[in-house]
Chains A and B, each alone.
Chain A
Amino acid sequence: MVHEFQDTSVLVVGASGLMGGEIAAAFARAGARVMLSDIDGSGAEGRVEELRGEGCDVAFHRADVTDAADVHDLLRHTLEALGGIDVVVNAADVRVFGPAVDVREERWKAKIEVAFKPFFLLFGGVARHWIEEGRTGRMISISSTESTIPYPGSVAESAAKAGVDILTRVMACELGPSGITVNAIAPGMTRKRQEDPGFSAEYIESYMHHIPLGRAGEEREIVDAVFFLASSAGSYVNGQTLVVDGGYSAGIPALQVSGEPPTQWLGFDRDREGV
């Protein structure tokens, strides 16, 4: 069996979350040494046990990515445990949905903090370490389709993820000269999100309506995009948000123009077509 990420050290924050957990597990199963981190150990610790049972080299360290001291501890601990960091994945997030006029100030601020702070606390810390040591690496964040396609109630999600996209580009500009790439993935609907009771059936159904491929993505399909960016195949991709959404953000498939086209279609005379 080929281990794509043998001898690779990966740090995943937000590893108790759905996407972060999947990504961490996939890296571990692909041969990487993985440090899972989250503010809440409940999800990640179980996953660490499970992965260790499979013979994977994984560990957990609790940290709040919006807290400078916590992030400092996390990095020190990770470097000790893994001997280095090659790939850092930022999947930390909090779920804040609701119309702008109803979203509470504290929730809004919490959302923005979790989205923005990892860029200079976590990525900044890792970048300083890499630059000091003369090393390079890959930084990958989880954005979302809401960053470019808002809907009513997505105000905090959209603002936070739009920030993630542009911070990805700014950091790519800043760290490119040091050989470090900074990218993001924007997943659309995935199967596990579709089954998440935290989202209403109405929301899921209306979202599904807008996916040209007509199905939710598999978590594996998101992980594959992360793998591409972390692998040698993705070495020249920098400052991008790779959207993996079945075409959701491409347009509005639900708005089909049906029926016979008019004879004067965009100024083109149909009768003369056959001439």
Chain B
Amino acid sequence: MKDLAGKVAVITGGAGGIGRCIVAELAEAGARCVVSDMDDEWGQLVVAEIERGGGEAFYVSTDITDSCEVSSLFAETVRKFGSVDIVVNVPDIQVLGPLHELKEDHWDKKVDVALHGAFLVCTEAARIMLSQGRGGRIICISSTGGFLARPGHGPHSASKAALNAMVRAMALELGEHGITVNAVAPGGTDVVGPSRKGGFKPGQTDKILEVMPVKELVHPEAHAHAVAYLASERASFVTGQVLVVDGGFIAGKLTVGGEIEDTVPAGLDSMRGTDGGDV
């Protein structure tokens, strides 16, 4: 199933927990991958892994908050692989804290990476795809935080809600050129970053599972599957969407309501036909 054969994919944040799963999946589908990150050691390891599997990839160290570095990432991609067909923007940093107690430089850093960086990567990608004139796929990794407000998640929610809106607006602008713009919104995912930081602390996992309809943390591979779908021909009519992959985390409030009792209109038997004792 090499449905991305001949395609060139650029994955920013490709060395991180979710990023490297995306690189692996796109490479498996036949795409030549450009891995971009700021963690050179892990970036090289991800490339080496792809090459061991017979795929083609190279690494570019990029600070996506710097427009010059973003331009040279794409220039190098075109120079080595000839085109840019798929761009996946993953980078993020964790900044948590109540808004009225937050330090301004922490806020700035978060918005810079999660939102401004995405803007620079996606718009540069769009300009290149427009000049190539044969469409393309732009995919951002967002978060359920863009939909769900939680105390302490202000910087994260603001960045991701804005990112989702950017994705939708860009989809409107680029649709006629055959460029689709979508996002994947992970939630409840246990990922360990390249520096082996991140991931849930003991105790946190139990709390998350309590509110997750699917009683299991989401594997980072699940997001890679979603990205691969959006990058493929099968998704050519999907644009401006945020595909939530969260085990049902934001579908509603699971812990509200208590025990559910069957409520049946008078004169009718129990709803649970075969389970009712007198059947």
Seen from chain A, the residues whose Cβ lies within 8 Å of a Cβ on chain B are 68, 99-101, 103, 105, 108-109, 112, 116-117, 119-121, 123-125, 127-128, 131, 146-147, 150-155, 158-163, 165-167, 169-175, 239
Contacts and interface: CB of A to CB of B under 8 A. Distances in A.
Contact of B154 (A100, A119, A162): A119
A131 B98 CA distance: 13
Contact of B104 (A121, A131, A154, A158): A121
Interface string B92-132: 00000011111010010001000110011011001100100
25 contacts: A100-B123, A100-B126, A100-B169, A101-B130, A103-B123, A119-B99, A119-B154, A120-B107, A123-B99, A124-B101, A128-B100, A150-B168, A150-B172, A155-B170, A158-B169, A160-B162, A162-B161, A163-B159, A169-B149, A170-B150, A170-B154, A171-B100, A174-B100, A175-B100, A239-B149
A173 B150 contact: yes
Prevailing SS type, chain B contact patch: helix
A128 B160 CA distance: 26
B178 interface: no
Contacts, number: 134
Nearest to A177: B151
Interface residues of B, number: 42
Interface core residue of A120, A153, A161, A172 (most chain B CB under 10 Å): A120
A21 to B, nearest CB: 26
Interface in B120-154: 120, 122-123, 126-127, 130, 146-147, 149-154
A218 to B, nearest CB: 27
B166 A171 contact: no
Contacts of A154: 169
3 tightest A-B CB contacts, nearest first: A169-B149, A162-B165, A124-B100
A144 to B, nearest CB: 11
B173 interface: yes
Prevailing SS type, chain A contact patch: helix
Contacts of B182: none
Given A100-B126, A162-B162, A166-B161, A174 B99 contact: yes
A43 B101 CA distance: 32
B36 interface: no
Given A120-B100, A151-B172, 11 more contacts: A101-B173, A112-B111, A120-B154, A128-B100, A155-B169, A159-B162, A163-B158, A166-B158, A170-B149, A170-B151, A173-B149
Contacts of B170: 100, 155
Contacts of A165: 161
Contacts of A151: 169, 172
A103 B126 CA distance: 12
Interface core residue of A68, A131, A160, A170 (most chain B CB under 10 Å): A170
B99 A170 contact: yes
A173 B115 contact: no
Nearest to A128: B100
